[in-house]
Amino acid sequence: MEDKLKEIVESFLSTQSRITFLTGAGISAESNIPTFRGPEGYWKVGSNNFHPQEMATYQMFRQRPEEVWTWYLYRMGVCKKAMPNSGHLALVAFEQMFGDRFTLITQNVDSLHLHAGNSPERTRQIHGNIFFMRCVSECRNSVYPLPSEIEAKKRGDSLTEKDRSLLKCPDCAGPVRPHVLWFDESYNEHHYRLYSSLQAASETGLLVVAGTSGATNLPNQIVSEVFRNSKPIIDINIEQSPFSIPAAKSGGLFMKETSTSGLNKLLKTFQELI
């Protein structure tokens, strides 16, 4: 594997092309953030236990906005306690190494990449950011940080009067929603950087995928685009994913590793060869 990795990195460094990273829940899991698609994501409302794929929908928000907000404020609390890990730091080192040739596309809403030090300009948060909110009626198309006074929730909590007064659009005082992409919604450029992510994929000379199993549509499109352009893909994952075979066929590599270990091996190879 090491020879192959060297060969890919050497060949990439002989060009002046761009490098793109795509990260998913695996890298956050190493900072103790559960995927929320697993058992940790279940949420009790009354006597019903809802699956995350039911909670994280616009339909549920329409029906039970307070329960959906409580669930998000619980998840926000989990994300707030988490610290970036050495995989996140490796990505900061890659951004320093490549500057404007670097793009980071992340499915994670936990802000850990920004917290670690990646720049907002080169980071595409394609599923949003749990520390932000926006107006339900999109009166201004703006995104606002959650008010600092708002407190995280525990299981069994509900919204307080104070929460209700804080969860209002700063412009029109109407209801706000979490700034995240829900399962029954579509990607767009304004909030989720759909086109700029696909453009980064079409221009990249190397794609590195870390900790994502490719369950959602845009990551699939990104990998397919790079594959179509015959550019190498490195897939770092603890188990085979739908990206592992395209990665091997693209002249790239499947690294059966955790995100932190794989990204640091890759970083070390770049540092030795640059």
Query: Per CB under 5 A, does 267 bind Zn ion?
Result: no
- Which CB, 89 or 172, lies closer to Zn ion? 172
Query: Per CB under 5 A, does 136 bind Zn ion?
Result: no
Q: How many residues of this chain interact with Zn ion, rule: CB under 5 A?
A: 6
With CB under 5 A as the contact rule, the residue among 172, 198, 215, 238 that binds Zn ion is 172
Q: Is the distance from CB of 191 to CB of 175 less than 8 angstroms? A: no
State CA 247 to chain mean position distance: 20
Query: Per CB under 5 A, does 169 bind Zn ion?
Result: yes
Determine the Cα–Cα distance for residues 234 and 131; give it in Å rounded to an integer: 30
The stretch near Zn ion (CB under 5 A) out of 54-62, 129-137, 144-152, 191-199 is 129-137
Determine the Cα–Cα distance for residues 116 and 96; give it in Å rounded to an integer: 13
Determine the Cα–Cα distance for residues 166 and 179; give it in Å rounded to an integer: 15
Short-list 49, 52, 23, CA closest to 35? 52
- Which CB, 143 or 152, lies closer to Zn ion? 143
Short-list 189, 169, 21, CA closest to 108? 21
Query: Per CB under 5 A, does 171 bind Zn ion?
Result: yes
Radius of gyration of the chain (CA): 19
Q: What minimum distance in Å lies between the beta carbon of 169 and Zn ion?
A: 3
Strands 43-45 and 48-50, sheet pairing: antiparallel
- 88 in catalytic set: no
- Which CB, 39 or 170, lies closer to Zn ion? 170
Q: Which of 88, 113, 127, 191 is catalytic?
A: 127
With CB under 5 A as the contact rule, the residue among 174, 228, 240, 273 that binds Zn ion is 174
Q: Which residues are tagged catalytic? A: 127
Judged by the rule CB under 5 A, the positions of this chain that interact with Zn ion are 135, 139, 169, 171-172, 174
